[in-house]
A = this chain, B = another copy of it.
Amino acid sequence: MAERPTRPSASRRPVFDVTDDRLARAAWSRIAEPGDDVAVALVEQLGAGPALAWLHEAVDDPAEARRTLVARSETVPTSGPTRGVGLAGPVPEDPSGDGASHDARSRSVARLLRGVARWAPRLDGLDPRRELRVLERLGGTLVVPGDPGWPGALADLGAAVPIALWVRGAPGLAGLAARSVAVVGARACTDYGRHVTGEIASGVAARGFTVVSGGAYGIDAAAHRAALVSGGPTVAFLAGGVDRLYPAGNTDLLRAVVETGGAVVSEVPPGSVPSRVRFLQRNRLIAAFSGATVVVEAAWRSGSLSTATRATELSRPVGAVPGPVTSMASTGCHRLLRDGAAVCVTDADEVAELAGSLTRDAAPGAPPVAGGASRRADYDGLDGVETRAWDALPLRSGAPTDAVARSAGLAVADAMSALGRLEVRGLAERTAGGWRRVRPG
């Protein structure tokens, strides 16, 4: 122990109560970049507070931390959403005896130590109480898993679930997500794109959908604005802290979003700058939060295409609005259509149809969901096509097969056979009006 170099550990000791889950999650949302699955796994396995305490220990004494880790790594799970990372849980089997799980443990220890290296610089002067005070002054709320307002749909992100959400405006995000559509697109949009966005966003807002977007110039701003005009709530996910309503030109618009029953949301704390990687990570939140994602205009390589891709990965319906083939601003949308990655949508009715049937069970009071293991039980074991068909099923009145197929973005034949399989599993039933979902008993 004598050869251990002296470290400036005093300034790193937590100045706040790390046993407070809310404070600890606020701290982690500053320490870890959005989408840091190692941090999520650590928080899920140990709890946010103990994870933070462990991180402090690890920074104070890396050698000891490594030894502890190797000793405790017997308990690293080799499967499940936090595989290869955990510090608790059952000892993994190694029936083959070939050392495969030993190798997996070594890799997970290495990943965790790399995490410590990433996180350590951000421990200096860490005090989430300060950021929470900033949020409070702005009338905001920190929403964490377990809160009634936590949007359960984010659980579909698995190990990329956000650790906490910094919210200005309505903290009941679950209610806002329950019936929602993301309307996204190019910053450099055309008058055509702005016009169509207005028609679609105001139309779906009038039908009771929350319009979700990214608060950017162009299509995003047109979507928020049209929703506000229709009196519907709208939610903007920002890449930076909610204290700075970015971009500056949209400050008044975003303030109106906050003051009209909607919310401006970020997973990074006040004071955080919007970086390129944060923009991309922000897109996953839009995709996961919303019942469906519609791209109105997008250039060939556009960030909004990443939102569409994430939505597809999450089995959310994706729509694309066509435009003139002579317009560069529509090339990304046409690419989605051509690749079969999006359904062609041309008005609010079609967008509502796309999103309507996927009303997620994310109402206030839903059980807390935070990690990746919380996908609803009736989903378990469904393949991609079955999941899409199930998602597309209405809860009450039945829908004919072709409507389910259209809504799910499936060929009618595929939808038909998937519905048959869902029926066999007791997840779907035929009524006079068509197919509907069976709620698990």
Q: Mark A204-221, 1 if CB is under 8 A from B, else 0.
A: 000000000000000000
Q: Which parts of A336-359 form the interface with B (CB within 8 Å)? A: 337-340, 343-347, 350
Provided the pairs A196-B326, A326-B195 are in contact, do residues A411 and B338 lie with their beta carbons within 8 angstroms?
no
Please pick, from B324, B338, B347, B411, the residue contacting A340 in the complex, using a CB distance under 8 A: B411
> Do residues B334 and A325 form an inter-chain contact, with CB atoms below 8 A?
no
Whole-angstrom distance between the alpha carbons of A73 and B334 in the complex? Answer: 56
Please pick, from B330, B331, B344, the residue contacting A338 in the complex, using a CB distance under 8 A: B344
Provided the pairs A331-B346, A338-B343, A340-B411 are in contact, do residues A323 and B321 lie with their beta carbons within 8 angstroms?
no
Whole-angstrom distance between the alpha carbons of A350 and B195 in the complex? Answer: 28
In the bound complex, residues from chain B placing their C-beta under 8 Å from that of A262 are none
Q: Which parts of A62-117 form the interface with B (CB within 8 Å)? A: none
Please pick, from B324, B340, B344, the residue contacting A334 in the complex, using a CB distance under 8 A: B344
Q: Which parts of A309-344 form the interface with B (CB within 8 Å)? A: 321-326, 330-331, 334, 337-340, 343-344
A: interface residue count bin: 20 to 34
Whole-angstrom distance between the alpha carbons of A350 and B325 in the complex? Answer: 12
> Do residues B322 and A325 form an inter-chain contact, with CB atoms below 8 A?
yes
Whole-angstrom distance between the alpha carbons of A192 and B323 in the complex? Answer: 11
> Do residues B323 and A406 form an inter-chain contact, with CB atoms below 8 A?
no
> Do residues A324 and B325 form an inter-chain contact, with CB atoms below 8 A?
no
Provided the pairs A192-B326, A195-B326, A411-B340 are in contact, do residues A346 and B334 lie with their beta carbons within 8 angstroms?
yes
> Do residues B406 and A338 form an inter-chain contact, with CB atoms below 8 A?
yes
> Do residues B330 and A322 form an inter-chain contact, with CB atoms below 8 A?
yes
In the bound complex, residues from chain B placing their C-beta under 8 Å from that of A195 are 326
- Tell me how many chains of this kind the complex includes: 2
Minimum CB distance partner of A330 in chain B:
B322
Q: How far is the CB of A341 from chain B (nearest CB, A)?
A: 10
Please pick, from B196, B325, B339, the residue contacting A325 in the complex, using a CB distance under 8 A: B196
Q: Mark A360-395, 1 if CB is under 8 A from B, else 0.
A: 000000000000000000000000000000000000
> Do residues B323 and A324 form an inter-chain contact, with CB atoms below 8 A?
yes
In the bound complex, residues from chain B placing their C-beta under 8 Å from that of A334 are 322, 344, 346
Q: Mark A406-421, 1 if CB is under 8 A from B, else 0.
A: 1000010000000000
Minimum CB distance partner of A405 in chain B:
B340
> Do residues B337 and A337 form an inter-chain contact, with CB atoms below 8 A?
yes
In the bound complex, residues from chain B placing their C-beta under 8 Å from that of A192 are 324, 326
Q: How far is the CB of A267 from chain B (nearest CB, A)?
A: 33
In the bound complex, residues from chain B placing their C-beta under 8 Å from that of A343 are 338
Q: How far is the CB of A185 from chain B (nearest CB, A)?
A: 13
Whole-angstrom distance between the alpha carbons of A252 and B323 in the complex? Answer: 34
Whole-angstrom distance between the alpha carbons of A196 and B334 in the complex? Answer: 15
Whole-angstrom distance between the alpha carbons of A340 and B326 in the complex? Answer: 22
Given contacts A192-B324, A337-B344, 13 further A-B contacts (CB under 8 A): A192-B326, A321-B325, A322-B337, A323-B323, A323-B324, A324-B324, A325-B347, A334-B346, A338-B343, A338-B346, A339-B406, A340-B340, A411-B411
Residues of A within 8 A of B (CB): 192, 195-196, 321-326, 330-331, 334, 337-340, 343-347, 350, 406, 411
Complex A-B: 30 CB contacts under 8 Å: A192-B324, A192-B326, A195-B326, A196-B325, A196-B326, A321-B325, A322-B323, A322-B324, A322-B325, A322-B330, A322-B337, A322-B344, A323-B323, A323-B325, A324-B324, A325-B346, A325-B347, A331-B346, A334-B344, A334-B346, A337-B337, A337-B344, A338-B344, A338-B345, A338-B350, A338-B406, A340-B340, A340-B411, A344-B344, A411-B411
